[in-house]
Chain A
Amino acid sequence: MAATAPDQTDQGSYDVEFRSVVKHFGDVKAVDDVSFALKRGSFHSFLGPSGCGKTTSLRLIAGFEQPDAGAIEIAGQSVVGVPAYRRPVNMVFQHYALFPHMDVAANVGYGLRQRKPRPSESEVAARVAEALELVRLPQLASRRVWELSGGQQQRVALARALINRPTVLLLDEPLAALDRKLRREMQIELQNLQREVGITFVLVTHDQEEALSMSDTIGIMKDGKVVQFGTPEELYDAPVNRYVADFVGESNFFPGSVASTDREGATLVTASGLTLRAPYSRLGTRLSPGDRGSIAVRPEAIGLWRPTRVPAGLDVTRPARLLNRIYLGDHSEFQIEAEGLGPVLVRLPKSDEAQELEPGDQVVMGWNHERALALGEG
C-alpha cells in the first residue's frame, strides 16, 4: 500500500526499513511478507493481539532473529546476517532483563564498557550519571536492581539502552507490568524523552490506547501481516477494514450483505432485514454487491432520546430499551438493546439531556449516514 512503500528518492530519512520480510517458526509464518519504512526520529508502534507478529518484527530489528527472506535495513545499511551485538539498536525488554548480579550503575554502564576501544572509567561514570539524570533516578546508582520498584526498574532499563545513543530504541511491551496510573505517567514520560533525545522509538504493544496516545505512526498487525500502516488519525478516521476499526477505538458493528454500491459508499441489509447505508472509509476497501460487510458506528456518533423528543432529519432511527448506564465523569456510556440491531454502545457527554434516562426506559436511538462507515470484513 502506498503509505508504507519506501520512497526510493528519500532513502536517507528512514531509520528502519523492511522489504518483503518473511520469518517462519516451523510451520507458523510469524512475519509474512511485511514491508514498511519508519521515518528518522519518529515514534512508531506495532499494535496487535498476541501472536500477530509484532514481537517477532521487533526481534528481527534487534537481531535476535534473522529473516528467512526479504531485506532489513537500519539507517540505510543492510543488517541481514548481522548479529545483535553489532547492530546500532538497543532494546527495553518486557520484564526489563536487568542483570541481577550488578548494581544500577553497572547495569547502565554495561553497553559502554563493551565498546572497543573501551571508554575510560571516568567517562563511563559521567555518562551513567547523565543517563540516570535523564530518567530521573540519579540517587539510585549504587542500589541492587532487585531492591527497585517496577517503575524504577523500567527507568533503569531505559537508561541502560539510551546511554548508548542508539539509532533506534526498541520497546517490547515495556509498560505491561506497571499498574494503570504509573503506566499513564510513563507513557507521557516516554513521549517527552523521545522528543528530547530525537531517537527513533519502536514500540510493541497490544494496548490500543497506549499506541494511539504516543505514536507518530502505527502498524496494525494480524497473522504476520501489516493490515494498515498510518498515523493515529488515519487509523481512527479511515480504517481499511473492520479489523482495524475494531482495534482502534471502539465501534458498533452491524454486519450484513451488500445490496448495492456506488462511488461514495454501500447499502447493506442486516440479518434482521434492516437496510443501512454508509460511505466508504477514505482508505478502506471497496465493496461489491453480495459481499459480506459491516456498517461501523462509533459510540459517540449515536444519539439517544425519549420517544417524544426525537429530532427531525435523522437517517437511521430505531426504538430501543436502555439496559445500563455507566457514569464516567465528563461522559456516560449507555448500553441499549435496539430493535433489529441487538446490543449497542452509546457514549454521550455530560451535557446531553439523555443523562436523565434510567435503565429500563424505552428510548429511540439514531445516527446520520455520514457518521458511519461501510467496511469490508478483513
Chain B
Amino acid sequence: MLRGYAIFVYLFLYAPIALIVLFSFNSGNNASDLQGFAVTWYIKAAGNTLMLGALKNSVIIATASAILATFMGTMAALALQNLRGPLRVLFDGLTYVAIMVPGIVIGIATLIALVTTFDVTNALIADLWPGEAPPKLGLGYGSIIAAHTLFAMALVIVIVRARIAGMDRALIEASADLYADPLATFRQVTLPQLAPGIIAGFLLSFTFSFDDFVIAFFVAGSQQTLPIYVFSSIRRGVTPEINAIGTAVMLFSLTALITAQVLLRRGKRPAQ
C-alpha cells in the first residue's frame, strides 16, 4: 500500500519533467504531438541569437551574484559566530526569514526600493553633473544582481554557519599552539575546513540565480534573462525548442546541485 503510494508521489513529481525531456527530442513541429526522435530542436535552439543573448545575461548575473553572495555570506557567517545571546537569536531569525520570504515579495520590495533610490540619486546626479547629459541609474544587470545577492547571501550564511558549527574548535587552538597567528590560522585551518560549505554555497547561489524568474521579472528592466526569455516565448506558443532549452537548463542546474550535495557530504567525513 505504502509502496504504491510512494511510487504514485514520485510519478506525480517527475512525470511532467520527463515529458519535457521526451518532447525536447520530438522531430515534429508541435510541442504536444510526438512524431519521432531527433535533435533538430537542440540545433535550432543553439542558433537562436535571442536565446543566446538571454543565456549570456543569465550566466553573467548568476556568476556575479554568486560571487558576491558567497563572499559576503561567508564573512557574515564568520562574524555571527562570535555573537552570543539574544542578538545571535535575532540575526539567526532574520537570516531564515530572508530565505522564507516569497520571491514575489522580494521582487516587489526590491523594485520599489530601487526605483525610489534611483529617483533621488538621479535628481542629485543631474544637479551635480558638470556636463551636458548626466548618467542615469536604471534597472538592468545591476538591479538583478543586487536582488539575487540579497537572497542567496542568506543561503550562504546558513550553509557556512552549519559548517562552522560542525568544526572542531580544538583545531583552531592547535594551530595557535603551533605558533600560527590568527591570520595564518584562518588561512591554513579555518578556510580549508569551511571550503566545502563555501563552494556548495556558491553553487547553490549560482543555480538559484540562474533559475530565478519571479525576482528577475520585477527588477530586470529591459534586460532578458533565460527564464524571462522562455516565459515570453511561451506566449507565442510552445514549440519543442522551449523543451530543448528547458532540458538543457535542468541538466546544468542538476549538475551544480549534485556537486554541491557531494561537497557538503564529503566535507563531513574527516570529522568522524
Cβ-defined contact, A93 with B180, below 8 A: no
B residues 22-54 near A (Cβ < 8 Å) are none
Cβ-defined contact, A114 with B178, below 8 A: yes
Chain B residues lying within 8 Å of A110, measured Cβ to Cβ, are 175, 178, 180, 188
Chain A residues lying within 8 Å of B178, measured Cβ to Cβ, are 85, 90, 110-111, 114, 160, 164
Cβ-defined contact, A101 with B270, below 8 A: yes
Chain B residues lying within 8 Å of A98, measured Cβ to Cβ, are 174
Complex Cα spacing A377 to B180, Å = 47
Judged by a CB distance under 8 angstroms, whether A304 is at the interface is no
Q: Which of A100, A146, A164 has the most CB of B within 10 A?
A: A100
Q: Taking A114-B179, A114-B184, A115-B179 as contacts, is the C-beta distance between A97 and B171 under 8 angstroms? A: yes
B270's nearest neighbour on chain A, judged by CB, is A100
Cβ-defined contact, B173 with A97, below 8 A: yes
Complex Cα spacing A278 to B92, Å = 65
Taking the closest CB of chain A, its distance from the CB of B187, in whole angstroms, is 11
Cβ-defined contact, A164 with B179, below 8 A: yes
Chain B residues lying within 8 Å of A95, measured Cβ to Cβ, are 168, 170
B185's nearest neighbour on chain A, judged by CB, is A85
A145's nearest neighbour on chain B, judged by CB, is B270
Cβ-defined contact, B177 with A84, below 8 A: yes
Contact residues on B (Cβ < 8 Å of other chain), bracket: 20 to 34
Chain B: interface secondary structure? helix
Chain A residues lying within 8 Å of B272, measured Cβ to Cβ, are 146
Chain A residues lying within 8 Å of B188, measured Cβ to Cβ, are 110
A101's nearest neighbour on chain B, judged by CB, is B192
Cβ-defined partner of B269 (8 Å) among A84, A99, A146, A160:
A146
Taking the closest CB of chain B, its distance from the CB of A246, in whole angstroms, is 32
Judged by a CB distance under 8 angstroms, whether B251 is at the interface is no
Judged by a CB distance under 8 angstroms, whether A91 is at the interface is yes
Contact indicator per residue, chain B 168-203, by CB within 8 Å of chain A (1) or not (0): 101101111111111011001100110000000000
Chain A residues lying within 8 Å of B176, measured Cβ to Cβ, are 63-64, 83-85
Chain A residues lying within 8 Å of B175, measured Cβ to Cβ, are 99, 110
A-B pairs with beta carbons under 8 Å apart, 6 shown: A85-B178, A90-B178, A91-B174, A110-B178, A114-B178, A161-B177
Listed in ascending order, the chain B residues whose CB lies under 8 Å from chain A are 168, 170-171, 173-182, 184-185, 188-189, 192-193, 269-272
**Nearest 3 CB-CB pairs, A to B?**
A100-B270, A97-B170, A111-B178
- Further 4 A-B residue pairs, CB within 8 A, beyond A97-B171, A164-B178: A85-B176, A85-B178, A85-B180, A99-B189
